[in-house]
Amino acid sequence: MNKLRWGILAVVLVVCAALFFGFVLHNEEYTGQEFMFDTLCSITAYGDEAQNAVEAALERAREIHSITNGFSGDSEVSGINSAKAGEKVKISRDIAKILQTARKVETASNGAFDVSIASVVRLWNFDGEGRVPSEKEIAEALSRSGGEKFIMDFDEGLVIKKEDGILIDLGGVAKGYAADEAVKVLKEHGVQGAIVDFGGNILCFGKNPNSDDGLWRVGVQKPFAPLGEVDEENIIEVSEAAVVTSGTYQRYFEKNGEKYHHIIDTATGYPANREYSSVTVVAENGLVADCLSTACFVLGKEKGTELAKSFGAEIFFK
């Protein structure tokens, strides 16, 4: 081989190597996981900055967990819950955003979604052993719920209770917001594609490097089957979306052969017993999708579908 041919070969090899390493680096994959919001939260991202981005996104989610966690005495939610009637409680921008969207969905769902159902949720002790409250207890707790018992001034960042003893529970909405914020951080770090899975709240964006068409395939968990089991026909293909599921199987207890799950019908104070076990909402935004999935579960198929459509979301009942 003459010098020119060696030269050409060398150039070709360098170009191939650059393309190869460029491809590999471009597709660097990193998964980070953490137990938060009482569930396993996991993020897989692709791109040069994947690891830093995932760590920063988990940090942001941790922040949201710490302010929304009603079980921690020093969280913002606990601050609201321990406030007396008439007291002006200053809220952060995060809590204001969550409460503002929650209020929109509360109004649109005629109160089927209502973060102030907390007193009733607590009675059932879903986070502990579970217990069936008496009718009297439920009636009393219901009398301490209802969005109208709060004044919320989102511009001033203030919440004021009209009565003592009114509580809020962001369990039906915080994970969706945290997933949105995690996605923001990933994008700020230049991540080209990622999937965020916060216990049934799945957000994806960018290109999926593991599929030919770049789409993400999100499987809807088969109710009461082992975690990760999905029916072939329940795989949703998306490029950028929030796919959020509320299901009876996610948190429940059994007493005397009866299952009691954690999604409360605000009209009765009892678990919303419906002909389906889960509701999946596909929307642009995790916060909206999270409120909607809970709301639509309570509302039932007909009204739930109407509500989801009014927010431009798709909905599936299983």
Give whichever of 49 and 197 is closer to Mg ion, judged by the CB atom.
197
| Sites for ligand AMP among residues 277-316 (CB under 6 A) | 290, 293-294, 298
Of positions 44, 101, 266, 277, contacts ligand AMP by CB under 6 A? 266
User: How far is Cα 10 from Cα 110, in angstroms, rounded to an integer?
Assistant: 70
Segment interacting with ligand AMP, rule: CB under 6 A, options 26-34, 84-92, 111-119, 145-153: 111-119
Backbone angles phi, psi at 162, to 5 degrees: -90, -20
Residue 218 C-alpha from the chain's centroid: 14
The site for ligand AMP, by CB under 6 A, has a size of: 20
Q: Please report how close the Cβ of residue 126 comes to ligand AMP at its closest, in angstroms.
A: 6
Of positions 94, 114, 180, 197, contacts ligand AMP by CB under 6 A? 114
Pair 312, 265: CB distance under 8 Å: no
The answer for residues whose C-beta is within 8 angstroms of residue 122's C-beta and 6 or more apart is 141, 167, 169
Interior/surface letters 260-286, b for 16+ CB within 10 angstroms, e for the rest: bbbbbbbeebebbebeebbbbbbbebb
Give whichever of 191 and 296 is closer to Mg ion, judged by the CB atom.
296
Give whichever of 80 and 105 is closer to Mg ion, judged by the CB atom.
105
Q: Please report how close the Cβ of residue 264 comes to ligand AMP at its closest, in angstroms.
A: 4
Choose among ligand AMP, Mg ion, none what residue 81 binds, the Cβ cut-off being 5 to 8 Å by kind: none
Q: Please report how close the Cβ of residue 154 comes to ligand AMP at its closest, in angstroms.
A: 19
User: How far is Cα 250 from Cα 160, in angstroms, rounded to an integer?
Assistant: 32
Of positions 68, 119, 277, 294, contacts Mg ion by CB under 5 A? 294
The answer for residues whose C-beta is within 8 angstroms of residue 261's C-beta and 6 or more apart is 126, 248, 249, 250, 251, 252, 271
CA angle (286 as vertex; 195, 180 as ends), nearest 5: 65
Q: Please report how close the Cβ of residue 12 comes to Mg ion at its closest, in angstroms.
A: 55
Q: Where are the beta strands (DSSP E) in 62-157?
A: 88-90, 150-153
Of positions 117, 159, 218, 238, contacts ligand AMP by CB under 6 A? 117
Pair 293, 304: CB distance under 8 Å: no
| Sites for Mg ion among residues 166-185 (CB under 5 A) | 172
Q: Give contact residues for ligand AMP (rule: CB under 6 A).
A: 113-115, 117, 121, 126, 169, 171-172, 246, 250-251, 262-264, 266, 290, 293-294, 298
Q: Give contact residues for Mg ion (rule: CB under 5 A).
A: 172, 290, 293-294
